[in-house]
Amino acid sequence: MNKNFYLAVLLVIVSVSSSFADGYKIKIKVSGVSDTIVYLGNYFADKKYAIDTITVDKNGVGIFKGDTALKGGIYLVLFPSLGMNYFELLVDENQNFSLETDTSNFIAKMQIKGSKQNEAFYQFHNYMAEQSKINMPLQKEMQKYKDKPKKADKIREQLIANEKVVKEHWKELAKEWKGTLFGAVIKSMIEPEMPEIIVPENITNKDSAKQMMQYMWHKDHYFDNIDFQDDRLIRTPFFSPKIDRFMTQVVVQHPDSIIKEGEKIIEAARGTDENFGFLVRYMFGYKDKSKLMGMDKVFVEISEKYYLSGDATWADSAFIEKIRERVIKEKPNLIGNQAPKLEKLETYEKQFINLYEIKSDYTVVVFWEPNCGHCKKTIPKLYKSFKQMKKDDLNVQVLAIYTQLEREPWEKFIEEKEIFDWINAYDKYYFTNFRNNYDIYSTPTIYLLDKNKKIIGKRLAVDQIEKMVYGLEGKKAPIHEKKDKKAQH
């Protein structure tokens, strides 16, 4: 045989080895299922996705395999025939291994060959199950002694001691398996330990100061054990909930705080393929998630910094243009901004007025039109509220802007409802560009301005206006009793 033959054989071997090294092969054997479909899935943020499907034979044996290596993370083997019950496994560098278990108890019966990480993963599951067996009776016993503090405290001390042992075990595992997915998973479960907080002697209200210092430490060290540069973590069940818990429960729900902390974790993930994109998308949608007024500032900031800058490489040009359009319309009317100018408005009395000429502590700016069904209910309600606020000596004025052009239906509505003692106006020649500057895509749309014409509320309901104005004046808003529907019939 010549050299060319041996060279050809060698190339085939290298090619096969390379192909195998780049792919995955995960064999399962599950007693209790046969001749049925089984899915291989993975976590991604707060969702689960099926990525491969096989049919196990009569002995419950099947093989998941592919030519392309799986991305690291916690994966699931799901059984539709068992109501989508599943067991988990770690996928990291080694993707050629086997698992054998039983439907009676996936975890306790699990046997693994070819993956030391998965062996450690299931040893950890069993260890935690044993700890649960120890602690659950103690917790039940402690409940019995609610009226006997000394006995309850003694049990509580035992539970705390047990918890300390578990945490020390976690630390040892994280250190032993450092660099592996299993090590990263264990480390992420360990809460940073707060040091003793010492309040300076010159502080007067020490208790409040200590609470604030503890909060700040907790916020600043919340992610100490999370490596945002590790893309494997996005495919675990804890990464996304931890982000959401931090942003919604730890961070003060004010746009500036949300932006500051959100951008901090985004930047910590910059350069990754998936964590960065997930965090940008999470913060991009925070306005809709929060539902709190003023969070459109978060949308504008994240859009400008990451999408309109070109950092969001996953977004196509059409989507980017839609974002650009929304930013153009939302940016001028963010809460805290000076209200966009409204000049040369023609009033019902056929005079001209500018928004900034109105002298009042609060100015309600409402955009409406008489053929809008919701406006027909809201405008009379707002007018009644306006009259009540004036009666209660609140320095409030309403600028009611008609959004259409024909005067007749507008004048007719004003006259029928007798709403003459606030300012009724319209932009006859559309000089003000109010639809863009105030983002008017539906009516009625209501803004509340302070005496300097800064926006302090937007897209408000009438009762929200009352609560804000009365609250800012240190007064209690009036209670509007609802009519008893049964009494009406």
CATH number, domain with residue 413: 3.40.30.10
Q: Are residues 91 and 128 in the same domain?
A: no
Q: Are residues 72 and 151 in the same domain?
A: no
Question: Which residue stretches of 47-148 are H helix?
Answer: 116-144
Is residue 57 domain-resident? Answer: yes
pLDDT band at 481 (very low <50, low <70, confident <90, very high): low
User: Beta-carbon neighbour count of residue 246 at 10 Å?
Assistant: 18
Is residue 204 domain-resident? Answer: no
pLDDT band at 11 (very low <50, low <70, confident <90, very high): very low
Return the bridge partners of 140, or none.
none
Is residue 483 domain-resident? Answer: no
Range of the domain at 279: 238-333
Instruction: Compute the mean pLDDT over every residue in the chain, rounded to the nearest whole number.
Output: 92
Q: Are residues 11 and 104 in the same domain?
A: yes
Is residue 194 domain-resident? Answer: no
Give pLDDT, residue 484: 46
CB burial of residue 357 (10 Å; 0-12, 13-18, 19+) = exposed
Select from 333, 365, 386 the last residue of a domain: 333
Select from 86, 113, 140 the last residue of a domain: 113
Give pLDDT, residue 16: 37
Distance between CA atoms of 60 and 40, rounded to whole angstroms? 15
Give pLDDT, residue 112: 97
Is residue 363 domain-resident? Answer: yes
User: Residue 3 above 60 pLDDT?
Assistant: no
pLDDT band at 21 (very low <50, low <70, confident <90, very high): low
In tens, the pLDDT along 197-248 reads 999 988 889 899 999 999 999 999 999 999 999 999 999 999 999 999 999 9
Q: Are residues 369 and 438 in the same domain?
A: yes
User: Residue 20 above 80 pLDDT?
Assistant: no
> Which of 2-11, 340-349, 388-397 comes out lowest in average pLDDT?
2-11
Write b or e for each residue in 55-93: b if 16 or more Cβ atoms lie within 10 A of its Cβ, otherwise e. Answer: ebeeebbbebbeeeebbbbbbbbbbeeeeeebbbbbbbe
Sheet holding 36-44: strands in order across? Answer: 47-56, 36-44, 73-79, 85-91
The domain that holds 53 is classified in CATH as 2.60.40.1120
Q: Are residues 96 and 134 in the same domain?
A: no
Is the pTM higher than 0.85? The answer reads yes
Number of domains within the chain: 4
Considering the chain, what percentage of its residues have pLDDT values greater than 90? 85
Give pLDDT, residue 138: 86
Q: Are residues 298 and 391 in the same domain?
A: no
Q: Are residues 325 and 366 in the same domain?
A: no
User: Residue 19 above 70 pLDDT?
Assistant: no
Average pLDDT over residues 285-301: 93
Q: Are residues 23 and 47 in the same domain?
A: yes
Give pLDDT, residue 489: 41
> Residue 49: left (phi > 0), alpha (psi -120 to 50), or beta?
beta
Q: Are residues 359 and 458 in the same domain?
A: yes
In tens, the pLDDT along 150-167 reads 888 888 899 999 999 999
Is residue 486 domain-resident? Answer: no
Is residue 210 domain-resident? Answer: no
pLDDT band at 144 (very low <50, low <70, confident <90, very high): confident
Q: Are residues 329 and 377 in the same domain?
A: no
Give pLDDT, residue 149: 81
User: Residue 486 above 60 pLDDT?
Assistant: no
Is residue 197 domain-resident? Answer: no
Q: Are residues 258 and 322 in the same domain?
A: yes
Q: Are residues 403 and 460 in the same domain?
A: yes
Average pLDDT over residues 397-407: 96
List phi, psi (to 5°) of 471. Answer: -65, -45
Select from 84, 113, 142 the last residue of a domain: 113
- Helix (H) or strand (E) run with residue 447 in it: strand 445-449
